[in-house]
Amino acid sequence: MADLLVILVSAIFVNNFVLARFLGICPFLGVSKKVETALGMGMAVTFVMTVATVATWFVQYFILIPFGIEYLQTIAFILIIASLVQLVEMVIQKVSPVLYQSLGIFLPLITTNCAVLGLAVLNIQKDYTFLEGIVFAIGAALGFTLALVLFAGLRERLELCAVPQSFRGTAIALVTAGLLSLAFMGFAGLVKG
């Protein structure tokens, strides 16, 4: 139980996927202009990450390892993740057109999102059990959502600030992301993750 907690806290704060591992930067910058869409994106990523972890865990231990073809891990995982994201996209488009519109082109971005692939690969590398894997996935997704929402809040505030012309948009977003990442380094060593 304590192990699971350590995995969770580590994935959310200490080794935050975006701010410490620097994975998933594309949606981090792309879908963080508004807090609402950031939350929506966080949900979508949480869902995709959890499902992808389950799927890739099974594929790894019931197909790749038994057949001795671990070297195909990357390509197999990409295939699975891509199909899953497509599925999620279709469901969202039907169920919540508003969310679909605000997530816009960024949903397909999860398809090739290194955060999701990275999670699946790390999960195998760390030899997590099925349950640990799921907790790790949820932690990673929550960490991603936390970073995204914090960042969206900051960017919403920057909209009202007199940012110099040359720094507007992505430039100031990247500076802010860097500073946010610095702040998250305070968590370093909090738990051995």
Q: Which of 18, 31, 64, 137 binds another protein (CB under 8 A)?
A: 64
Tokens of residue 97, six digits: 């057109």
184 contributes a contact to another protein by CB under 8 A: yes
CA-to-CA distance for 65 and 62, rounded, in angstroms? 7
User: CB under 8 A: which stretch of 45-53, 82-90, 102-110, 116-124 binds another protein?
Assistant: 82-90
98 contributes a contact to another protein by CB under 8 A: no
The answer for residues whose C-beta is within 8 angstroms of residue 80's C-beta and 6 or more apart is 52, 55, 56, 59
Residue 141, amino acid: A
54 contributes a contact to another protein by CB under 8 A: no
- Report CA dihedral (83, 50, 18, 30) to the nearest 10 degrees: 50
Contact between 82 and 16 under an 8 Å Cβ cutoff? The reply is no
Helix (H, G, I), strand (E, B) or coil at 93: helix
Per rule CB under 8 A, count of chain residues that contact another protein: 51
2 contributes a contact to another protein by CB under 8 A: no
Q: Which is nearer to another protein, 131 or 182 (CB)?
A: 182
105 contributes a contact to another protein by CB under 8 A: no
The answer for residues whose C-beta is within 8 angstroms of residue 121's C-beta and 6 or more apart is 73, 74, 77
Q: Which of 5, 61, 74, 87 binds another protein (CB under 8 A)?
A: 87
Q: Write out the residues near another protein by the rule CB under 8 A.
A: 35, 59, 63-64, 67-69, 72, 75-76, 79-80, 82-83, 86-87, 90-91, 93-95, 97, 149-150, 153-154, 156-158, 160-164, 166-167, 172, 175-176, 179-180, 182-191
